Amino acid sequence: MGEVSIEMVVLISGVIFFAASLQGVTGFGFNLLAVPPLIVLFPAQVVVPGMIVLFPALGFAQVIQLWREVDRGLLAWWTVSALVALPFGALILRNTDTHTMQKGIGAIMIVLALILQMKPGAPFRRERTARAFTGFLAGGLAASTAVSGPPLVLLGLKQRYETHRFRATLMAYFLAISLLCMPFHWQMDLLNAESMWFAVSGFPGLVLGFFSGTWLRQHVDGKIFRWIAIGMVLLGGIVAIVL
């Protein structure tokens, strides 16, 4: 990243602010929205670990608000199955060059955004298998791209989970997976001075975004934000591929 400037802090915090506001309204989308524009400006090996480090501050605050609504059984299935995939995702991030990671993450963002628009169809009969598979997939995505929400959201839509309980469970999962990712990123030298400075630069936007999201959740229709976010993710993914 080089020398950290005021302009860089404002830029990173601005993206983080918008993403954190969306997270507060919909229960997901923080990394999905923030990663595409940031990987165009900074190496993926800085952005992904930096986002993982940054998220727990937001996650703890949100989970404290909503802990009573968390589905602990669903959270356990996702977390345990994700843990198996974390080292593989971290290996991909460490061993892939920055340019390839940028284009790869851009393509993944587009695919995940389109997946979220799919009609989920009838619920799975073998839900435990679906929970384990989506948890494993989300874990690999979390460690390699910092984005793990879309497979879980698609499962929630398909199984028709109750909205408020599902949103609280997603927030708890994102917190858990961020904490679990850190040792793997640390072991592979991805948590370094650059990624930590990135996280520090985004912290002011995270704090403001938390309060913004809390207010918006009570006053704004989340569907509007969802469509805005999907459009921005698609645009960010396309830019990441082209540049």
The 10s digit of each residue's pLDDT in 106-159 is 888 788 777 767 666 788 888 889 999 999 999 999 999 888 888 888 888 888
pLDDT value, residue 112:
75
pLDDT value, residue 204:
93
| DSSP state for residue 75 in the 8-state scheme | H
CA 60 and chain centroid, separation: 15
State which amino acid sits at residue 242. Answer: V
Angle at the Cα of 90 (from 70 to 165), degrees rounded to 5?
A: 10
Q: E strands along the chain, which residues?
A: none
pLDDT value, residue 183:
94
2 C-beta neighbours (distance < 10 Å), count: 7
**Ordered mean pLDDT values, 10 residues apiece, the chain (243 residues):** 75 91 75 85 92 88 85 94 94 89 83 73 84 92 87 84 86 92 93 92 91 78 63 72 71
Given CA atoms 77, 71, 17, 149 in this order, what sign does their dihedral have? positive
pLDDT value, residue 2:
54
Tokens of 8: 């860089």
CA 6 – CA 149 distance, rounded (Å): 31
pLDDT value, residue 182:
95
